[in-house]
């Protein structure tokens, strides 16, 4: 492919050789370090063809004379010949120049903005910030200062720790790295703090590193209760009690009960695709959609999907033209029934995904799930009590009281 | 002399293609056969291509033979190749 392109741009000729000493002629020209290709004999005609570059062509004649063969140009191919042939045709040259100018003009804009690396931040939110900074399809490429855009993106979102903007041709790429938020609020070491309970529960296990534990495993605590105090009390020989404050640290896990009540429908519809499909298509010029075929859907139940292929010169020169399809795929909705057992299995998955969503995956351990159910006409009502083990400790800064009452 | 030289080369594990200028023939199925380190082309035909090397002649026979690439270093023969023969 690359070689063919090179050949096209440099131009080449197909030569016809006649005579007795053709191998000798070929050997002679090869000694001049010439590359030739597609060398073959035209059977029964006593002639041989080969291709060589324009540059090599100039070196052929001495060898032809020496070996006594006759040379003829059979075909001229490639850009130099096309240009030469059309050099007197004004409209052709103007057209070619206009095309080049248009291409260069269109290349000075950004036509495609790609965003990678965002997980929790929506691409649309990032696009809005980028647009404010002048990075959007159809905006001038030279005005973009990648460093400034990066700064603006970082400033707009606190949970982005790294942003990089690169412009390849007409394609702008923003890659971001999101910060993983610390799992719990913690107070700087050195600042006196208590460890408190973030949630209600029964203490299961405590690992105290610093501070004075106030509860023991088995105790029932409520959210906000102090679990490990940062206040240390020291009694002196004179019966006075002095207190001073430390930065308490502990990891406290508790057994907690979570109750979920939800319905699992006994009837559900599934999509049976019939295989019938219809498509509308059109082109996108700049940011405008133009439908070339825009018929209403002939199906009552259908799923719509959209696909787009953008015209692009190589990977890095997307152009503001694209071809798109809207595909309607017909399906027949079918009502299916599930048994109570299946509904309960479904319930298990619902519980797991809900716990993961609400508490964060991996931050808890499920000890037990107790499910009770009640069957109605259309649903199974599941009441589940889940016992989980979770870290509930959280640090809270101690705000020192101005005047501690002595003895208390 | 030649025999002695061969023994020395083999003992020292020197690359033979460099020392004796032997041709390297690489075949991509029966479609493309490239031959490096040749001396000269002797015959170019649709059914027979003869190439002279330091190790004698290499004769390609087949149908619709075509020399796809020819440089002073190597030749690629393609087409329906039936046989590659060494004639010494």
Residue B70 to chain A, least CA–CA distance (Å): 5
- Chain B residues lying within 8 Å of A27, measured CB to CB: 40-41
CB-based contact B70 A41, cutoff 8 Å = no
State which fold the A109-178 domain adopts.
Answer: Ubiquitin-like (UB roll) (3.10.20)
Domains for chain B: give ranges and CATH numbers: 22-87 (2.60.40.2000)
Q: Are B67 and A33 within 8 A, CB to CB? A: no
- The pLDDT value recorded for residue A232 is 84
Contact A35 B71 (CB under 8 A): yes
Q: Which chain A residue is nearest to residue B48, measuring alpha carbons?
A: A41
Instruction: Decide: A86 and A44 in contact? Cβ < 8 Å.
Output: no
Three-class secondary structure of residue A109 per DSSP: strand
For the purposes of burial, counting CB atoms within 10 Å of the CB of A226, is it exposed (0-12), middle (13-18) or buried (19 or more)? buried
**Interface touch B42/A23, C-beta < 8 Å:** yes
pLDDT of B4 strictly over 80: no
Band of pLDDT at residue A11, cut at 50, 70 and 90: very high
Instruction: Reply yes or no on whether the pLDDT at A372 is more than 50.
Output: yes
- State the distance between the two ends of chain B, measured CA to CA, in whole angstroms: 19
Q: What is the pLDDT of residues A14-37, one digit of tens each?
A: 999 999 899 999 999 998 889 999
Mean pLDDT of A369-391: 88
In sequence order, which residues have a C-beta less than 8 Å from that of residue A188 and are 6 or more positions away? none
Q: Tens digit of pLDDT for each residue in B9-53?
A: 787 887 877 777 889 999 998 889 999 999 999 999 999 999 999
| Superfamily (CATH H level) for A2-83 | ACT domain (3.30.70.260)
Which tokens hold the place of B22?
A: 């032997």
ipTM for the complex shown: 0.86
Pick from A26, A34, A37: CB nearest B68:
A37
B70/A48 CB distance under 8 A: no
Residue A358 has pLDDT above 90, yes or no: no
Query: B70–A33: do the CB atoms touch at under 8 Å?
Result: no
- From chain B, the residues in CB contact with A41 under 8 A are 44-46
pLDDT of residue A408: 44
Residue-wise pLDDT tens digits, A124-175: 888 888 888 888 888 888 888 888 888 888 888 888 888 898 888 888 889 9
What is the rounded distance in angstroms from the CA atom of residue A364 to the CA atom of residue A349? 16
- Please list the residue range(s) of chain A that carry CATH number 3.10.20.310: 109-178
CA atoms within 13 A on the CB side of A12: 18
Token digits of residue A265: 């429908």
Among A353, A370, A373, A356, CA closest to A266: A373
């Amino acid at each position: 492919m690359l070689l063919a392109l090179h050949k096209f741009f440099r131009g080449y000729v197909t030569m016809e050789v006649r005579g007795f000493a053709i191998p000798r002629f070929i050997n002679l020209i090869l000694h001049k370090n010439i590359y030739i290709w597609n060398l073959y004999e035209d059977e029964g005609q006593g002639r041989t063809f080969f291709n060589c570059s324009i540059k090599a062509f100039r070196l052929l004649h001495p060898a032809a004379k020496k070996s006594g063969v006759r040379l003829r140009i059979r075909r001229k191919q490639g850009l130099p010949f096309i240009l030469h042939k059309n050099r007197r045709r004004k409209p052709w040259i103007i057209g070619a120049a206009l095309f080049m100018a248009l291409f260069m003009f269109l290349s000075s804009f950004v036509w495609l903005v790609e965003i990678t690396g965002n997980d929790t931040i929506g691409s649309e939110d990032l696009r809005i910030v980028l647009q404010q900074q002048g990075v959007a399809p159809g905006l001038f490429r030279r005005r973009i200062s990648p460093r400034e855009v990066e700064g603006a993106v970082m400033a707009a979102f606190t949970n982005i720790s790294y942003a990089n903007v690169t412009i390849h041709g007409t394609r702008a790429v923003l890659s971001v790295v999101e910060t993983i938020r610390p799992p719990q609020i913690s107070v700087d070491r050195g600042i006196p703090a208590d460890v408190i309970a973030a949630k209600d529960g029964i203490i299961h296990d405590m690992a105290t590193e610093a501070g004075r534990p106030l509860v023991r495993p088995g105790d029932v605590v409520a959210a906000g209760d102090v679990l490990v105090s940062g206040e240390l009390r020291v009694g002196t020989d004179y019966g006075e009690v002095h207190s001073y404050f430390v930065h308490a640290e502990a990891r406290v896990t508790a057994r907690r009960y979570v109750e979920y009540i939800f319905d699992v429908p006994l009837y559900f519809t599934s999509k049976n695709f019939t295989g019938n499909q219809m498509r509308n298509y059109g082109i996108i010029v700049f940011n405008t959609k133009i439908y070339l075929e825009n018929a209403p859907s002939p199906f009552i139940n259908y799923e719509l999907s959209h696909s787009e292929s953008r015209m692009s010169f190589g990977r890095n020169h997307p152009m503001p033209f694209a071809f798109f399809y809207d595909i309607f795929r017909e399906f027949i909705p079918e009502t299916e029934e599930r048994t109570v057992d299946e509904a309960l299995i479904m319930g298990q998955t619902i519980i797991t995904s809900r716990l993961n969503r609400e508490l964060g995956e991996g931050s808890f351990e499920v000890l037990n799930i107790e499910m009770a159910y009640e069957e109605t006409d259309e649903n199974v009502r599941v009441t589940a009590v889940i016992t989980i083990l979770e870290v509930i400790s959280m640090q809270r800064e101690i705000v020192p009281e101005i005047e501690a009452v002595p003895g208390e | 002399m030649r025999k002695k030289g061969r023994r020395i080369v083999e003992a020292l594990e020197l690359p033979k293609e460099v020392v004796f200028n032997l041709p390297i023939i690489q075949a991509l199925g029966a479609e493309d056969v490239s031959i490096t380190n040749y001396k000269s082309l002797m015959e170019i035909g649709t059914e027979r291509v003869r190439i002279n090397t330091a190790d004698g002649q290499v004769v390609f026979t087949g149908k619709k033979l075509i020399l796809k690439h020819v440089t002073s270093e190597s030749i690629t023969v393609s087409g329906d190749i039936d046989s590659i023969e060494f004639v010494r």
